[in-house]
């Protein structure tokens, strides 16, 4: 995608180390600390890298920002690469996910500015409406802590299930109080939910994976998450201490500019919603 290097999950085991070396070009300085070099940002391909590429192609040069975008297809490496300095920032996640990640992995990533929301949606290749889901239907949901809970809350908000009182951002299928359709849940990696659609009756899919697969959330979802008062806005993030990097501050300004808002509205037609 337009001069953008792709880093896939195949390299997860060694990705952080090898990528860190290549990003630094053998220098004693890493990508985060060398503010004289380009700002390297790790991002999910859609829509994050697309938004960053728009900034790079149309706004960065005039603002004096040297921006480099690195695509990752998983939700782990962007944070570990930011933590170890292989990249200077990342753009792919929301606050509940980051809080859980920092807690479990001992990382020190912090948000800089919230840019957009990708509504989570329930999709199906087999039925055209929620009412058409049969008793005992199988629903695939993401297996990471935050997105699993988010998926269950989405289904609960539409009356498909009822969750136990007090369930928070770590809800699992074991926290379901009522399940009138006797739905069966298949927990898979978030990136695999789209692929599972041929094997299950329905699947809850993150917005970025839906869009990159040609799905139009605003049109195709059986159930779509509401953007109102959502805690799941996606933001630019850095390792703690790098918030005042002039490159980061400049990118934050560009990502929340009127030009980017118009780009998001025109390109994604409600499937991605600007948060500023």
Over the stretch 107-145, which tens digit does the pLDDT of each residue have? Answer: 999 999 999 998 899 999 999 999 999 999 999 999 998
Q: Are residues 87 and 219 in the same domain?
A: no
Same structural domain, 38 and 169: no
Residue with tokens 């933590």, as numbered in its chain: 83
Distance from C-alpha of 43 to C-alpha of 129, rounded to nearest angstrom:
33
Residues 158 and 201 in one domain: yes
26-67: pLDDT as tens digits: 333 566 666 779 999 999 999 999 999 999 999 999 999 999
* pLDDT recorded at residue 11: 33
Query: Is residue 142 domain-shared with residue 102, that is, in the same domain?
Result: no
From the number of C-beta atoms within 10 Å of its C-beta (0-12, 13-18, 19+), residue 198 rates as: exposed
Same domain, 89 and 164: no
Residue 270 — very low, low, confident or very high, per pLDDT cuts 50/70/90? confident
Percent of the chain with pLDDT over 70: 88
pLDDT digit string (tens) for 163-209?
999 887 889 999 999 999 999 999 999 999 999 999 999 999 998 89
> Of the residues 224, 249, 266, which one is the last residue of a structural domain?
224
Query: Which residue range(s) make up the domain with 87?
Result: 5-119+231-274
**Residue ending a domain, choose from 190, 209, 224:** 224
Q: Give residue 204's pLDDT.
A: 98
Same domain? 37 vs 102: yes
pLDDT of amino acid 19 = 37
Q: Please, where are the H alpha helices in the chain?
A: 12-24, 50-55, 61-63, 77-83, 95-105, 145-157, 207-212, 217-220, 246-255, 258-268
Mean pLDDT of the chain: 88
CA-CA distance, 78 to 39, in Å (whole number)?
Answer: 14
Residues 201-228: pLDDT tens digits? 999 999 889 998 999 998 999 999 987 7
Q: Is the pTM of this model over 0.85?
A: no
- Check residues 8 and 75 and name the one with the higher pLDDT: 75
pLDDT band with cut points at 50, 70 and 90 for residue 154: very high
Length of the chain: 276
Q: Residue 227 has what pLDDT?
A: 77
Report the CATH number that the domain containing residue 214 is assigned in CATH.
3.40.190.10
Q: State the Cα–Cα distance between residues 260 and 238, nearest whole angstrom.
A: 20
Q: How many domains does the chain have?
A: 2
Q: Are 109 and 235 part of one and the same domain? A: yes
**Given this model, what pLDDT does residue 33 score?**
64
Q: Does residue 61 share a domain with residue 23?
A: yes
Alpha helices in 133-231 (DSSP H): 145-157, 207-212, 217-220
256 in the same domain as 205: no
């Amino acid at each position: 995608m337009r001069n953008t290097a792709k880093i896939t999950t195949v390299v997860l085991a060694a990705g952080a180390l090898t990528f860190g070396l290549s990003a630094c070009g053998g220098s004693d300085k890493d990508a985060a600390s060398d503010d004289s070099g380009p700002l390297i940002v790790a991002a999910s391909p859609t829509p994050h890298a697309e938004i960053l590429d728009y900034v790079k192609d149309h706004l960065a040069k005039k603002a004096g920002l040297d921006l480099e975008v690195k695509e990752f297809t998983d939700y782990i490496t962007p944070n570990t690469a930011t933590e170890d300095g292989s990249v200077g920032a990342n753009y792919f996640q929301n606050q509940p996910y980051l809080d859980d990640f920092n807690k479990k992995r001992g990382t020190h990533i912090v948000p800089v500015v919230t840019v957009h929301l990708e509504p989570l949606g329930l999709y199906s290749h087999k039925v055209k409406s929620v009412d058409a889901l049969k008793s005992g239907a199988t629903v695939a949901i993401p297996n990471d802590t935050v997105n699993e809970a988010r998926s269950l809350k989405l289904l609960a908000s539409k009356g498909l299930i009822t969750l136990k009182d007090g369930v928070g951002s770590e809800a699992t299928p074991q926290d379901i109080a009522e399940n009138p359709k006797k739905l069966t849940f298949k927990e898979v990696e978030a990136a695999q939910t789209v692929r599972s659609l041929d094997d299950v009756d329905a699947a809850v899919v993150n917005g970025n994976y839906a869009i990159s697969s040609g799905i139009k959330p605003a049109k195709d979802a059986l159930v779509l998450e509401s953007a109102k008062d959502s805690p799941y806005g996606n933001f630019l993030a850095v390792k703690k201490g790098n918030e005042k990097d002039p490159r980061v501050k400049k990118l934050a300004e560009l990502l929340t500019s009127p030009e980017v808002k118009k780009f998001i509205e025109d390109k994604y037609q409600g499937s991605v919603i600007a948060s500023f």
